[in-house]
Chains A and B, each alone.
Chain A
């Protein structure tokens, strides 16, 4: 085997390892989230043991300061995290990609206005933007958090889409396709979206992770999902006062959060490499 082939296959091995790990991390999260719809080890809302019990065979991760099973809380937190990540990215992707493609086609003036607006929106930290939206709506709910994060994501996605789409629109194959009678709508769906998708999808995974973290932060600040929607952010907040006496209360949701975010990024990277027919060539 030549040295070139060796390095390519080694890279592919590394890619498939990353993909497997990503699939596993996200897959476990998804399974746990689905499981909680039917079954949890204990009642999530009521005490099932003494306060702040250490991990035991009955309570694998111990109990919180109200005597509720921590593993149960953590499992429901997985559901919340997936819901927030998926919901926020779905909103962000739909609104952001539409705006970004429109901007790429807009006249010079409209494009400049749109670009400036997006730059201002992006200059706001996501969390601050989300706090404003949550504050503007009367009550904090999971859905206002998702909506707020989705809007924040759509600004970033719109800006990225606009740049990527403009680059594709300058390519020769767009003119070539137009000479055979492809309409602008055809150009968008057949050429622009497929060609920007590999980069966009990786960004969606990144945004998914950021949304999950942001929701945790909102919950930590008391602006996120209210009970009974346990969220990892609220678990972290509640563990704050007892982090020295019962560190597992902070460590467990922290690890869960990091694992999901990393898993999502590995998955997106791996999927992009599979979806890219030009992979294996120099880039």
Chain B
């Protein structure tokens, strides 16, 4: 089976400062991969490179094939057809990732409308509205009528992230990239969103690139992990193998830190 996302020898740099060095990995359809590493290790840069949305000031070389289309050097119109259909992204901060002046119903309707136009060349308002309602149900948002007519600042952080997930689902992507989707949320909400993502990915069978600095979070939703440190992949393999028997010192520290954290919680709780 050909890979959905195939990254080979990826280098990303800002001026002459390397941000990601010689990174290679691939994701097959339906596969769930975790990209972990501390803050600033180049995880978001890698995600943005995969959708061809790095800032113009950032240099990129190597090969990124998304759904068999070369992303490095691709024109904007080629990428616009690919974005959404091949991959959609959920971001860390749901408040800033939503347009503050657009009602939530319309924000979800936009990608729905675009996908329908792409698929069948025509759309009707009713069909779009019905899909928006379906999506709101799917991400378990309460009071659909109110949510549709609300602005982002009028709903809670967890609800905003559900909206962002609905917008990504609206694209029916083959690959969902989730860049620290629970980091900005409180612990209870974090668990809920994680459960929702896990359930949706299993239901739809889409592939998942889950980015996080939080090891236990990653372990819950993915099969395989790549450990990134200062833009270099230091370890890669199945979740159990990597976390059960870490080889690289950096991974060992991550595992140890997570274990200590768990113990501390166990001691107090």
> Could you list which residues of chain A lie within 8 angstroms of chain B, going by C-beta atoms?
171-173, 175-184, 190-191, 194-195, 276-278, 281
Contact = CB atoms under 8 A, between A and B. Distances in A.
A179 B88 contact: yes
12 contacts: A172-B96, A176-B98, A178-B51, A179-B51, A179-B83, A180-B84, A180-B167, A180-B168, A181-B81, A181-B111, A195-B101, A277-B154
B210 interface: no
B83 A277 contact: no
A238 B53 CA distance: 63
Contacts of A277: 100-101, 151, 153-154
Given A180-B84, A181-B83, A278-B151, A173 B114 contact: no
B102 interface: yes
Contact of B99 (A178, A181, A191): A191
Contacts of A172: 91, 93, 96-97
Contacts of A195: 99-101
A182 to B, nearest CB: 7
Closest 10 CB pairs of A and B: A181-B84, A172-B96, A181-B83, A179-B89, A176-B97, A180-B84, A277-B151, A180-B111, A173-B99, A172-B97
Highest count of chain A CB atoms <10 Å: which of B101, B110, B151, B167: B101
Contacts of B85: 181
A193 B237 CA distance: 47
B210 to A, nearest CB: 16
Contacts of B170: 180
Interface residues of B, number: 35
B100 A190 contact: no
B80 A183 contact: yes
B164 A176 contact: yes
A278 B100 contact: yes
Contact of A194 (B48, B82, B102): B102
Contacts of A194: 99, 101-102
B89 A176 contact: yes
A175 B53 contact: yes
Highest count of chain B CB atoms <10 Å: which of A171, A172, A176, A277: A176
B31 to A, nearest CB: 20
A225 B201 CA distance: 69
B47 to A, nearest CB: 9
B114 A180 contact: yes
A191 B152 CA distance: 14
A176 B166 CA distance: 13
A181 B53 contact: no
Contacts of A176: 89, 91, 97-98, 164, 167
A179 B83 CA distance: 6
A276 B85 CA distance: 33
Nearest to B153: A278
Given A180-B110, A183-B80, A194-B101, 5 more contacts: A173-B100, A179-B87, A180-B84, A181-B81, A191-B102
B219 to A, nearest CB: 26
B171 interface: yes
A180 to B, nearest CB: 4
Contacts of B114: 180-182
B263 interface: no
Contact of A184 (B48, B76, B154): B76
A226 to B, nearest CB: 45
Interface string B101-114: 11000000011001
Highest count of chain A CB atoms <10 Å: which of B53, B170, B177: B53
Nearest to B177: A179
B173 to A, nearest CB: 9
A175 B88 CA distance: 11
Contacts of B110: 177, 180, 182, 190
A281 B95 CA distance: 15
Interface string B151-168: 101100000000010011
A181 to B, nearest CB: 4
A278 B80 CA distance: 31
Contacts of B177: 179
Contacts of B93: 172
A145 B122 CA distance: 47
Contacts of B111: 180-181
A144 B126 CA distance: 49
B53 A179 contact: yes
A180 B111 CA distance: 7
